[in-house]
Structures are given as structure tokens and as C-alpha cells.
Amino acid sequence: MVRVAFAVGGRFLQLDVADASAICLVLFWSTVKVLGAPRVIRYRLLFILAIGSAFSVQTLRAQDLDSVPRDPVPQDDAPLETLPLPLPVQIIEDQATADARARREAEAVEREIRDLAAQEGMNQASQAMNDATQLMACYTLWSTLVGAFGVLLLVWTLRESRRATRAATDMLRLEATPFLSVEIIDGSRVRFKDGRWGKMDGDAFHPEPVTCRIVNGGRSTAVTFRYFRCWDYTCKDGCPDVIDPEAEDEALNKLGVSGRLNDPFHMPVGPQGASPTIATFSEALPAPGPENWVYFYGFLEFAEPSGRLRGRIGFCFVYAPEYKERGFHVAFPENRDKYWYYEELPRVPGSKASKISPISSSRATRP
């Protein structure tokens, strides 16, 4: 730092250059003012002196910085002298320094080993998590498929259970439904001989009328309340007239050679039982021949003992002279639309009966 010395009262006073310049400016201003110079001149002189003092202070400070001694250059950084021949240099360090350096190197190696082990563990953990995720995805997929298969099996089981329940209900209903049919008693032994109808007993012929009965194959009692039977004959290639059960009674009685409608008719038939013998009035029939195949056919309607209407069945038998050893046998069994049919009677009077599994046939065929 630059300082200026002043002699005051026989003593030296050291001041900073800036402080000394300020004191000089104050003294100069006081002197000029005392001398009575104009104010403009005083301000100008003071401005010039202030600028000169500032430059002087800066110059002295720069010289002061240049005069500060520099730090000597370390000898280690000085350039080495180049020898004409290279010499091997071996740095010998003490045992403590070597041990410390060895410990530091061992610690660094151990730290790197631990870092590598940690990274390997993280990689293994990530791989394990990835494998577990894939395994869970597979398990989820298989569980979804198994669940879907189980749902399908459940739907199939419910469907089959419903069908089984429906079948059991239908079976119970069918078991509780009476099934009636008409059969000719000993029809296979019926013959026409010597202008009369009868039955064969071995080689002996016994004249007697052809009879029939109503058979109940169901497990509940039925009551026959309407019964129509008819005798008719046609050529061997013909068919008997088709009966319309809904027709008027008078129209029915005009069918065939000997049509007869019993209405009202009351004939109860127990389960697995048969009605008493019913005559067929066969004495009025013409003699069968090659062109006269005799038919016995008709229908009957039955109900439950409580009065609930149940059904209507049709029947048709034939006696063919060409096959007289068969006697009276079933005719047109395949024709369930005209002759052999079963219809459920409507509960509401006046409605049409509904057929059970009808098989339509354009024309009847020979048995």
C-alpha cells in the first residue's frame, strides 16, 4: 500500500494516497476561497486538481503492485536437464506408505467386487421377477382357459339337467297318461268259411262273430266316451274311406257297409287292463273274395275319470283272402295321419285336437 508522510509540528504523519489527496483538495479549496477568486474559477481549479489527484493515485497503486515481490518458482516444476543417456530410476518408498497404498488398493478392489456382486444380484433379482411375471401370465392364461372350460361344462350340465328334468317330467306325465288301443280278439284265428265268420281251433272251425276289445297300456284309468267302428271292403289295391272324427254323427254312420257310432259311450278301462268283449256285427258283411278285402277300422275318444279330456286314437284292421292264414291283422300301420293316429283332445270344447308326432302320407299303401 502506498503511503505519504507529512511533517506536522515536528512529527511525521503517514497517510494513504487517497486520504492525502482528499486533504490536499480541501486545503486548496480553502486557500483559493481565502484569496477571493471567483466561484467559477474555484470550481474549475478544484475539478482539474481532483482529476489530477485521481490519476496520480492510480499510477502510484500500479507501481505499488509492481513492486510486490513474486513467489519463487518451485524447483520441482523447473525443467529437468536432459542427460545424454537414459538412466533407470527406482522409486523407493517406506513400508508404511507401501502398506497404506496396498490397503487402499485392496479396499478399492473389494469395493468393486461388492459393487459387481450387488449388480449381479440385482440382475438375478430382475431376471427372477421377469420369470415370475411370465410364469404368472402363463398361470393366469391357463386358469382363464380352465375357468372358461368350467363355465362351458356348467352351461352344458345345466342344459343337460334341464333336458333330463324335462324328460323326467314328460316320463311322469306319460306314465300318468292312459294309452288306449283297439284289438280284435284272436284276430289271427279268424276265418271266413262256408259263408260264415268264425275262428279256427286247430283244424276245427267254429262259427262265431268277430269281436274286439279296448286295451289300456297306460298306468292310469281311462273312460271311453265316444266309439266309432266301421266295416268296409275294397279291392286289394284300394283303401277304405278316411274317417273325419269332427264330422256329424249322421255322416259317420253312412260310412262303409256297416258304420256305427256309439255316442254317448261309457266304457272305463283300468291301467294295464282291457274292456269286456265288444261285438262287431260282422254277419251283415258280404263274403270276402279276391276283389273284396274286408276292413274293420274306426276311432275312439277317452278321458280321465275326473272328466278331463285326454285323447283320440284310430285303428284299422284288414282281412285279405290271399293271406287268410294271417286272419285279421293291422292294415296301414305306417299311415299315422289317416288310420293309426293319436291326438290329444283340447281342454276347451270346440277346439281342434292336436296330433302327436303325425306322419303325413299322400296316399295309404298296402300292408
3-state SS, residue 48: helix
Cell numbers standing for residue 340: 293309426
Q: What is the mean pLDDT of the chain?
A: 76
Residues with Cβ within 8 Å of 208's Cβ and at least 6 positions away in sequence, in order, are 197, 198, 199
Alpha-carbon separation of residue 327 from 151, 193, 236, 298 (angstroms):
61, 12, 15, 18
CA 299 – CA 336 distance, rounded (Å): 13
Enter the pTM of the model. Answer: 0.51
CA 342 – CA 314 distance, rounded (Å): 7
Rg (CA), the chain: 70
Residue 213: what pLDDT? 92
pLDDT digits (tens, 9 = 90+) for 48-90: 767 766 656 566 555 555 554 555 555 545 455 555 556 565 6
Cell numbers standing for residue 12: 511525521
Residue with the three cell numbers 420369470: 131
- Average pLDDT per consecutive 10 residues, the chain (367 residues; last block may be shorter): 47 55 66 64 68 62 54 50 58 74 87 88 88 89 89 91 90 82 89 84 87 89 89 78 82 72 80 87 64 86 88 90 85 85 73 44 35
pLDDT digits (tens, 9 = 90+) for 210-268: 889 999 988 889 999 988 888 887 877 778 888 888 888 777 877 766 667 776 788 89
User: Where would I find the H helices in the chain?
Assistant: 17-35, 39-66, 95-175, 249-253
Cell numbers standing for residue 66: 509492481
Residue 360: what pLDDT? 33
The strand pairing partners of 312, in sequence order, are 301, 343
Residue 241: what pLDDT? 81
3-state SS, residue 325: helix
Q: What are phi and psi of 128, to 5 degrees?
A: -65, -40
